């Protein structure tokens, strides 16, 4: 996906082959700063780490004004630490640009932790559509389509049964499973 010999030229690539917007989401200087390439403008993309090359490819897509960012299996092959960093970067991009991010993925952990809406496609049609907390509560329907819910959802099902909505963070699950116990304060 990388074409140029220098980081800055890679970021300019989109402007050469797309219409130049009046109000770009990110310009080249903004992308260099936002994605952490300050001081690397003249470096070869191939001198960057794999994560750096992925960030550069993403930055090159965002220079300009895409209306929607569509990512196909962006978490494939990433360990847990890189996955968290990548998903945090997507959060920052969404907050900074206001873009809609559509992620096509089989990584249900990423879906459960970040998605505002889940659309399950099967046989060329929408089978399920809604917030992750409701979609993951439909474990039998998910299983029918070969989808294994994230481990946290499976644990919740084992502990609490299958409610209409699932809790998708460890903190929410702990609060639901453990009774409220105020911490006693000792007088001095």
Please tell me the total count of domains within the chain.
Answer: 1
Q: Which domain holds residue 146?
A: 106-177
Does the residue 24 lie in any domain? no
Does the residue 19 lie in any domain? no
pLDDT of residue 180: 63
Does the residue 120 lie in any domain? yes
pTM of the model: 0.71
Supply the angle between the helices 80-97 and 50-62 in degrees, to the nearest 10: 20
pLDDT of residue 62: 83
Does the residue 136 lie in any domain? yes
Binned average pLDDT, 10 residues per bin, the chain of 188 residues: 89 70 73 92 92 87 79 82 84 85 89 91 95 92 91 85 84 78 67
Length of the chain: 188
Does the residue 59 lie in any domain? no
Does the residue 137 lie in any domain? yes
pLDDT of residue 42: 96
Does the residue 140 lie in any domain? yes
């Amino acid at each position: 996906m990388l074409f140029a010999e220098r980081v800055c030229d890679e970021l300019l690539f989109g402007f050469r082959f797309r219409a130049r917007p009046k109000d770009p989401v990110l310009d080249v200087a903004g992308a260099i700063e936002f994605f952490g390439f300050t001081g690397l403008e003249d470096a070869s993309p191939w001198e960057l780490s794999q994560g750096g090359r992925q960030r550069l490819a993403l930055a090159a897509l965002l220079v300009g004004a895409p209306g929607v960012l569509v990512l196909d299996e962006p978490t494939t092959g990433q360990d847990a630490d890189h996955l968290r960093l990548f998903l945090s970067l997507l959060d920052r991009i969404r907050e900074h640009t206001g873009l809609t991010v559509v992620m096509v993925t089989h990584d249900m952990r990423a879906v459960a932790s970040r998605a505002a809406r889940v659309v399950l496609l099967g046989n060329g049609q929408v089978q399920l559509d809604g917030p992750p907390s409701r979609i993951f509560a439909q474990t039998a329907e998910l299983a029918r389509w070969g989808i294994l819910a994230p481990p946290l959802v499976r644990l919740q099902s084992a502990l609490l049964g299958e409610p209409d909505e699932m809790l998708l963070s460890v903190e929410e699950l702990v609060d639901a499973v453990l009774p409220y116990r105020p911490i006693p304060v000792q007088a001095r």
